Structure 1
Amino acid sequence: MKRTTEPEAAVACLWQEHLRAPYPAALRGAELAGTDMVLLDAHIAGCVSTWLDNGGSLDAKRLGILRGCIADLDQILPLLNESEDRRYYQRLHRLALVVSTADSESTE
């Protein structure tokens, strides 16, 4: 039986919180800093879900996508004025950071 690592447990908890959160209505169809907000959410969600399903591992392509999403979020977060919008994307940012950091450490 495989033991769950600390990053996997943290991501699983944040992921469940994220799945329960409604998508910010004001950001449907919105583009900020040249990024489609719904697609950004979907890209990160796909990478996080895959990482959890693969026992804490991502292929190089998805890891690259996730790192690009982190860079996008670094530009977008300061632009979010509504607290619910900001909280939603801050959680995605935390998820992406933990997954990308944990995945990088596991491949070194």
Structure 2
Amino acid sequence: MIADMFEEKLDALSRMMAEHMARPFPPGFRGLDIEDQDMVMLDADACGYATSVLKGPLTERHRAGLMRLTAMFGKVLRAIEGEYAIRYYTHVRDMAVLAAEVEDLREK
């Protein structure tokens, strides 16, 4: 049962990554810092962690980094303006959260 749930979430993460890669980056967000967070790096970090989770287990250091990243979205999303940018970064957050869920299931 857990194995089935793991595979379903892994497949969902793969689909989310494909959807994300097809979306254009929000206009005006290159070089923009929100809540002391570079928005390009936030996006890149989330993609990097999701890609790593799809390839295999994370190290403890990387698991901790993914947890910090998902927590950062709580602050950043409240401060983003613009409908598209909010949708874009909500998707990025959801992708990072799903990556963390996959990683948690991998442990079981």
1:53-72 to structure 2, matched below 5 A, reads: 53-54=55-56, 57-72=57-72
Code of the aligned partner of 1:87: R
Partner of 2:14: 12
RMSD between aligned residues:
1.6
1 CA distance for matches of 2:32 and 2:61? 26
2 CA distance for matches of 1:9 and 1:50? 14
Structure with greater contact order relative to length (CA < 8 Å, sep ≥ 6): 2
2 CA distance for matches of 1:38 and 1:92? 11
Which SS does the other structure have where 1:62 is aligned? helix
Give the gaps of 5 or more residues in structure 1: none
* Corresponding residue to 2:46 among 29, 44, 63: 44
- For the pair 1:29 / 2:31, whether they are aligned, the reply is yes
Answer yes or no: is the 8 Å Cα contact 2:10–2:54 preserved in 1. Answer: yes
Give the gaps of 5 or more residues in structure 2: none
2 CA distance for matches of 1:25 and 1:70? 23
Partner of 2:99: 99
1:35–1:62 distance in 2 versus 1, CA, 3 Å: same
Runs ≥4 in structure 1, deviation > 2 angstroms? none
Number of residue pairs aligned between Structure 1 and Structure 2:
104
Which SS does the other structure have where 2:28 is aligned? helix
CA deviation map 1:2-41 (0-9, x unaligned): x870111111111110000011121110001111111111
